[in-house]
Structures are given as structure tokens and as C-alpha cells.
Structure 1
């Protein structure tokens, strides 16, 4: 009997992730059993799909893989999570059965890094303000504040999938790159093309600071009043990670002083209150959590899933391999 692939996400999620060409590739690998129920993924829905599976594909909206579900798939070899964090999916039972796990943080991180790069260029060029002044009838007011992505220092906080890709993109420019990540060695930073620095050193030296750290108890409000005060005047703070990493009250105070410029794709909570100062401050740009894959870019995860299944069946390492011991430092 051939390989059996169980696709657990509800049909609307499947449609977002996989196109016709993806289904053809999956069916060329083995027998594909798809969930056809749009409602909640209760055990009575999941068990018939997962029964006898060698590989399980999960994504947004999927439930934890409990012992009850796993008992229906005694030969299960791998879980490919076609989304970001696996924390809500993977249980101790998965690890105890020796099942390998892959996360789609890599393909998601590509879109995040590209968004951060776009925000970096637009902010340095003062495009946000120039657009508004031009609409207001001015022409060129604010040109003196335009900067180039050249000869400046960019600080990257977090060298996971998104942060690492952001660094790779920035290597196309003549800039100095600093990176802060507690689990990254100086040698690994150098291999990426950056120099490892303490968070305080990075904040004091950088013209642009881009946040790519995971949201963990240890990182909650890590950008507090004291650390924000270390940043250069006219520095740019970009957050495409999680809103909880920033003490927003402290950031608002800095922005009201006109000292910093912020590009925030995430806030805490989301959305911010209608009267929140971040919505009206002229030196703050808010976008509605669009940095990750939100439309056609999600199909990148579909291809990633297929490629991971092929790697699993060939006994090769996953691109998005997640180990049990990594969970405490992953988003």
C-alpha cells in the first residue's frame, strides 16, 4: 500500500494554501485524504481523515494532535504544519511517538522580511509623510528628511526565519548590519552577513531597528521605556513580529516627542482602540497585520508542504524541522 497523506484543515483553508497544481503534486506522491467538513474540527471529523495516515498536513484552525487522534494513525511519520507556530498542534504524544514535525515559518518569514524591507525603504525615503504633504498641495516639503539605504546601520532583533531572510535581503545594500539574538553565535551572525551585538548596543547604534523576535514571556515588552530611550534621534522602529514586544505607552511618549518614527504591522491588542494615539500620531504608520502571507503568498506554503513531504519520504532533514527542545524559544 502506498503513502497516505491526510489533509486536516477545513476546505476554505485548503483552498487558500493549495492550488490545482499543488493537488496534482500531492496525488502523484500518494493517496490524499482531505477533510470535507467546513465546521469545527472535532475528533469525529478528524479521525476518519487521519486514519491510517503516514503524513498529516495541518494549518490554521486545526486542533491539537491528541493521543485519541494519533491512535487512528499508528504509522504516522510526520506532521507538516502549513502555517506558523506548531505550539497549538503538537502535543507530548507526538514527540513520544517519534513523529517528526515541520513548521511553515520559513515561507511565512519570506513575506514578513520583504514587508520589513519595504517599510525600511519607504520610511528612510520619508515616503509616508511626502505622500501626505503632496496630497495637501505641497511639493517637496520634507525632501530634506529623505535618506537612502546606504551607509547606515540597520539593527535586526531576532534571527529566526523572518529575521534571517531580512538580513539576506539587506546584504544587497551597502549598510552595516547588527543582529541581536540570544541563541545566535557570533560565527552564525557573521555567516549571515551581520555582527552580533547586545540589544543595548544595537539600539544605540542603529538608524533602523527591525523586530523579528518571538513573543515569549522573556520578550514581553522588551522594548520598554529605558531601551527605547537608547535609540538615536530620528531612528526608525519597525515591528512585523508581535505587538506585545513593545511597551506601547512608552513608545507613544517617544513618538509624541517627535524623536522616533515607527512602522507597526502589529499591536497589542489588535486592532488598537479607535482613539489610540498610535492611529493619529504623524510619525507612526500602522498596517493591519499584513506582513505574513495574506493572499497569493500563502500558496508558497502549499509548495513548501509538498517539498517537506518529499524530504520526509526520502529520510532527509526538513527545511522547517522543529525539535521538542526548541519549543521554549520559538514563537
Structure 2
């Protein structure tokens, strides 16, 4: 709360967020607490013309509710995650005029694979040299990580 206040950010719950925001972008990891976190009541509360972006995981959103609400045409959506990937050609999400579908491919390039490998090698070199790691993972944070 202190950091948010310093940045001029108002923290609100999901119900209020969906009722007030014109753009909602979901980046939540899948955990037991976030599975179907975004439900029909949230999507139904979006203002007309709002945009909902889901680049997290499909399981954080009730997909049937999302489809029902998108069929109303009240808001737009940009989606790159679905329960079944790749998205079947007969999916009802396809062809909706208010939905932008993109492939879920974040980070999957030759360059990113090379970079990931180099970072891993550099971390191993630091570890065996007794130096502090640059990208140490905190085991206490594992349950929040995607």
C-alpha cells in the first residue's frame, strides 16, 4: 500500500477494477488461488467499449463466461491463451469481430533460447567461483511464479 500511494496508484478489488477500468490486462500466474480468478461477474461489469487482454494463462479466466460476454459485443478482447492450444479452427472465439487472437509465443525465438543458455552458464560460473548469483531464485516465491 505504501509503494502504491507513493506512485499515486489506487488499489481496488477485482470487482471495482472491472467496473471502472477501460483496459484490463491479465498477467496472473496459474496457482490454486488464481484458477478462474476472473469470473463472469467481472467481465459483465466491464464498461461498454472496454478492452480485456489475456496473455497470462487461460485457466485464470472462466473461458465459458468470457465467450458468453464477448458474444454480447460490449467489449473487445485480445487473447493469446486458450484452454486448447493451438486454438481449434472451429473455436467459437474465432471470427468474433471484437476479438483479436494472436499465437501464444512469448520468448520463443532462437535469440531468446541463446540468451537463456548464456545466462544459465554465467550463473553456473558465478556459483562455482563463489560469487553472488545475479538471478537468485527465492524458494519462498515459487508458489507465485508462472
Instruction: Please give the TM-score of this superposition, normalised by the length of structure 2.
Output: 0.82
Q: CA deviation at 1:244?
A: 0.8
Could you say which residue in structure 1 is the equivalent of 2:96?
281
- Aligned equivalent of 1:319, options 129, 135, 144: 135
Could you say which residue in structure 2 is the equivalent of 1:271?
86
Matches within 5 A, 1:1-331: 186-189=1-4, 194-290=9-105, 292-295=106-109, 296-312=111-127, 313-323=129-139, 325-331=140-146
CA distance, structure 2, for counterparts of residue 305 and residue 191 of structure 1:
36
Could you say which residue in structure 2 is the equivalent of 1:78?
none
Q: CA deviation at 1:190?
A: 5.3
Kindly provide the CA deviation profile for residues 137-194 of structure 1, in whole angstroms up to 9, marking residues without a partner as x: xxxxxxxxxxxxxxxxxxxxxxxxxxxxxxxxxxxxxxxxxxxxxxxxx234457774
Could you say which residue in structure 2 is the equivalent of 1:61?
none
Could you say which residue in structure 2 is the equivalent of 1:119?
none
Select the structure of larger CA radius of gyration.
Answer: 1
- Match of 2:52, SS state, is strand
- Match of 2:88, SS state, is coil
Q: CA deviation at 1:307?
A: 4.1
Count of aligned pairs: 144
Q: CA deviation at 1:279?
A: 1.1
CA distance, structure 2, for counterparts of residue 327 and residue 275 of structure 1:
37
Unaligned 5+ runs, structure 1: 1-185
CA distance, structure 1, for counterparts of residue 117 and residue 5 of structure 2:
32
